[in-house]
Amino acid sequence: MAQSPQLVAVYQRAWILQQRANALPNSQQALFSEALEELQAVLEELQASEAELRHQNEALVNTRQAVESERQRYQELFEFAPDGYLVTDANGRIQEANNAIASLLNVSQQFLVGKPLLIFIDQPDRSTFHLTLDQLKHLDKLQDWEIHLRSPKRSPFDAALTVSVVRNSDGQIISLRWLLRDITERKQIERLLKHLNSELERQVQERTAQLHLALDFEAGLKLLGSMGDPGR
């Protein structure tokens, strides 16, 4: 491993001093050589420390690169996910928003950041939203929470929310991660099926009533027939 220029300069200076020591009288050479040996030991310790620092620095650089790569990967997955994603604080204030949720609400991503999620909840559902947000303090995840969303550029629509709670080591909520889906089409189908089932049930009840009337009428005719037949 290459040494730092400063350490190389110190080694060179020590070598020069060693050469000069050789020209000293014998009585002084021993003392000077001892001092140089101590200096050499210190230099070797410094060299070992420098090597360790370089190794630690390389490890930090590699870790930083790995973290940055993972952050970039997360950001790309978050940004280009087909479903709407939000990250809010514990009070529901939006910190991050992906492109899908911006399209869903028909607003820009920049418009969403910093806004309370509450303003995108339809007015009749806001009290429920407050209560459920408070309940998240005791939960880790809430799935398929159906609610009506709205925005300044879109009328209220049916949505399903899934919320994941992120906590720190002390158990305190540091963020909420929201998955939002437009379920308008699904709710329309559900309402249509409910209407068709109700209509079918109504028709069955009508047919049953008609059948009972027909049976009663037939029974009445038989009774009249038996009363008019003296041979019976």
What is the reported pLDDT for 79?
74
Is residue 66 within a helix (H) or strand (E), and if so which, with residue range? Answer: helix 26-80
Q: Which long-range contacts (CB under 8 A, 24 or more apart) does 187-193 make?
A: 187/158
Question: How far is residue 118 from each of residues 37, 41, 99, 124, 188, measured CA to CA in Å?
Answer: 74, 68, 19, 12, 25
Q: Is the confidence at residue 230, as pLDDT, over 60?
A: no
pTM above 0.75, yes or no: no
CA atoms within 13 A on the CB side of 9: 3
- Diameter of the chain by CA atoms? 164
Burial 151-169 (b: 16+ CB within 10 A, else e): beeeebbbbbbebbbeeee
Question: What is the rounded CA–CA span in Å between residue 146 and residue 2?
Answer: 63
What is the reported pLDDT for 195?
84
Question: How far is residue 146 from each of residues 51, 92, 143, 160, measured CA to CA in Å?
Answer: 59, 17, 9, 4
- List, for residues 182-201, the tens digit of each pLDDT value: 998 888 888 888 888 888 88
What is the reported pLDDT for 101?
93
Q: What would the mean pLDDT of 206-213 be, rounded to a whole number?
A: 82
Higher pLDDT, residue 77 or 211: 211
Q: Is the confidence at residue 6, as pLDDT, over 70?
A: no
Among 32-36, 62-66, 119-123, 156-160, name the one with the lowest average pLDDT. 32-36
Using a pLDDT cut of 90, give the percent of the chain over it.
32
Q: What would the mean pLDDT of 187-216 be, rounded to a whole number?
A: 83
Complete DSSP assignment for 69-127: HHHHHHHHHHHH-SSEEEEE-TT-BEEEE-HHHHHHHTS-HHHHTTSBGGGGB-GGGHH
What is the reported pLDDT for 93?
96
- List, for residues 22-36, the tens digit of each pLDDT value: 665 665 656 666 666
Instruction: Tokens for 194, please give them.
Output: 């409910």
- List, for residues 92-151, the tens digit of each pLDDT value: 999 999 999 999 999 999 999 999 999 999 999 999 999 998 888 888 888 788 999 998
What is the reported pLDDT for 20?
64
Question: What is the rounded CA–CA span in Å between residue 43 and residue 1?
Answer: 15
What is the reported pLDDT for 140?
85
Beta bridge partners of 182: 159
Q: What would the mean pLDDT of 77-81 be, rounded to a whole number?
A: 70
Higher pLDDT, residue 20 or 108: 108
Supply the DSSP symbol for 52. Answer: H
**pLDDT band, residue 88 (cuts 50/70/90):** very high
